[in-house]
Amino acid sequence: MGQTLCVCSRNAITIDNKRYYFIQKLDEGGFSYVDLVEGAQDGRFYALKRILCHDREGRQEAQTEVDMHRLFSHPNILSLAGHAFMERGGKSEACLLLPYVSMGSLWSVLEKLRDKNSSTPESRILHILQGICAGLKAIHDKGYAHRDLKPTNVLLEEDDRAVLMDLGSMNRSRIEVRGSREAMTIQDWAAQRCTISYRAPELFSVESHCIIDERTDIWSLGCVLYCMMFLEGPFDLVFQKGDSVALAVQNPVTIPQPCRYSQGLQTLLSSIMVSNPQERPDVDWVLEQIRHLQSAEPPADWAAVWPAGPNVV
């Protein structure tokens, strides 16, 4: 795995001496094209993600995405079956061969529910959330942050196991900002790499002297949870209307009422979506609350478990 041998014809591609046939186009991301391919040898389906690298920096970014995949072997993080770089007319294209997940993204599942005027049962939400958190925990425990968690970057297996994908924005979890220049660089980077309606408040206006840490992912996790509960992200409408998401994220999240979900789940959502990152919990805390909710035994005193306490609006 991982040699840079890649031969591409119109209907087939060869990576690491193995041939893969194009079946159909799957999707087009902000930075890539994704096709469904079938392995000639193993008969398995794969998603082939092709990233056009415009310059050295682009190639380095694609290489980082490959390296990030390689760091993990975890049921809730998408693995990498192979990769190659293809040179074409002075430009290179990165080809990432990923196991195909047939149910597609969490977003596509939620979209279908919305079209049917349906909703997600609480037990299903908790199950999916638990999987997302398990993947995040693995990333955070290694000292990294995902930085672009959103429903289109979570794939769902048949049994609703969540699989985190698109590791292209990942970097070290702890970023120390020293001065306004560095703050601006990080802010510009976030504007490009962290999807606006799932972006943590501290990334909109980065302070000159601060620490950005993995809790940017916890904010995005809250947005994903909201999306599972209400079938749209909390700031989707703000963004669509052209209003300022940067301003909107400074206010406590409003939970639409009446709400069909338990008070415990609503409290969890409010406890995660806290604008001040210092008051935001870590993934271990969230996992613990999910366990409590799954056993229908919410802790008697939330404030005692997390110092910031619940913040239901």
Indicate whether 168 belongs to the interface with ligand ATP (CB under 6 A): yes
Pull the structure tokens for residue 152.
């289109």
Distance in angstroms (rounded) separating the CA atoms of residues 70 and 279: 32
Indicate whether 220 belongs to the interface with ligand ATP (CB under 6 A): no
- 49 vs 161 by CB, closer to ligand ATP: 49
Please choose, out of 126-134, 149-157, 254-262, 277-285, the segment that lies near ligand ATP by the rule CB under 6 A.
Answer: 149-157
Specify whether the CB–CB gap between 152 and 178 falls below 8 A: no
Please choose, out of 97-105, 115-123, 179-187, 210-218, the segment that lies near ligand ATP by the rule CB under 6 A.
Answer: 97-105
What phi and psi values does residue 263 have, to the nearest 5 degrees? Answer: -60, -35
For the CB of residue 104, give the shortest distance to ligand ATP in the complex, in Å.
Answer: 5
Contacts of 233 (CB under 8 A, 6+ apart): 150, 151, 197, 198, 223, 226, 227
35 is catalytic: no
Could you tell me the sign of the dihedral formed by the alpha carbons of 118, 156, 197, 216, in that order? positive
From 67, 141, 148, 188, active-site residue: 148
Please choose, out of 13-21, 22-30, 116-124, 175-183, the segment that lies near ligand ATP by the rule CB under 6 A.
Answer: 22-30
- 75 vs 310 by CB, closer to ligand ATP: 75
Would you tell me how many other CB atoms lie within 10 Å of the CB of residue 302? 19
Distance in angstroms (rounded) separating the CA atoms of residues 130 and 136: 10
Could you say which residues in the range 252-311 bind ligand ATP, by CB under 6 A? none
Among 35, 93, 122, 166, binds ligand ATP (CB under 6 A): 166
Indicate whether 153 belongs to the interface with ligand ATP (CB under 6 A): yes
Distance in angstroms (rounded) separating the CA atoms of residues 63 and 59: 6
Please choose, out of 53-61, 93-101, 241-249, 254-262, the segment that lies near ligand ATP by the rule CB under 6 A.
Answer: 93-101
Nearest 5°: CA angle at 77, between 63 and 109?
A: 115
Indicate whether 76 belongs to the interface with ligand ATP (CB under 6 A): no
Query: Residues touching ligand ATP: how many (CB under 6 A)?
Result: 22
Distance in angstroms (rounded) separating the CA atoms of residues 34 and 46: 10
User: Catalytic amino acids?
Assistant: 148
Q: Under the rule (CB under 6 A), what is the footprint of ligand ATP? A: 26-27, 29-32, 34, 47, 49, 78, 98-101, 104-105, 152-153, 155, 165-166, 168
